[in-house]
Structure 1
Amino acid sequence: MIPNDGDVRAFIDQIESPVRKRDAETLLQLMGRVTGEEPRMWGPTIVGFGEYHYVYASGREGDAGAAGFSPRKAAMTVYLPDGTAKYEDELGSLGDHTTGVVCLYIKNLERVDLAVLERVVAKSYATASASGFGQVGADGGE
């Protein structure tokens, strides 16, 4: 995925769902604070912070945000590049959510413990930002 010069503020402002828009504003603040990075658009619908380079065993490679989110219709998607399994214990006390390999799906941030979410995002960002993360052998959800 390639970061682009899309306007993050314009993207957030056009979100129709009041809950997704509110949650996007919350995540902009939370991820900005945790990463110390400015948000950038990655593709048309992902807001990312920082970046890392990945290389899969298949030879596929690219760049992605080291932390990020996307306000999808069904739920807010929070990306954890090092995988959700690593945070199983912490996510047990997060509140109402579901998970995929690298995605955390939250329908309403008011139903989760934001302190837990902040700790998980901070740890995942630190891992993804570390030298050597994403190299051959990391499955990255593939």
Structure 2
Amino acid sequence: MSDGLALLTLFSSSFLSATLLPGNSEVLLVTLLTTVETNPLLLLVVAIIGNTLGGLTNVIIGRLAPSPKHHQRLELAMTWLQRYGSPALLLSWLPIMGDLLCLLAGWLRLPWWSVTFFILVGKSLRYIVLTVITLKGLSFFS
């Protein structure tokens, strides 16, 4: 697989994984880290950018959405956001709950820059940990 195709595939998967659509960006990142010669830092940055932009897409959808209907997960996400504000988006990497947090952040019209910052940090930490574990595992076995 060429570097360009690998990066495009990783970006697409990372973006889709952050939306309500299914994705497998973690599996793809680990696969690419272990099988291609592309700079691991470049792979990490592409995954972070794609996933952050996907999360921000959910925020935009939330800003455009009508009032959400009540649901147990929705209530939990709403409680976190009302209690902690934008810092709750550090958990935006969580499956399903993270998507809800991003949607509700948009619906609640939380400040754009703080929302962007906390989504970026939360999603970055997940990919950094995954990359470090993968690369340490590779060096352990070599």
Q: TM-score over 0.5 for the alignment?
A: no
**Which one has the bigger strand percentage?**
1
TM-score (normalizing by structure 1): 0.30
Whose radius of gyration is greater, 1 or 2? 2
TM-score (normalizing by structure 2): 0.30
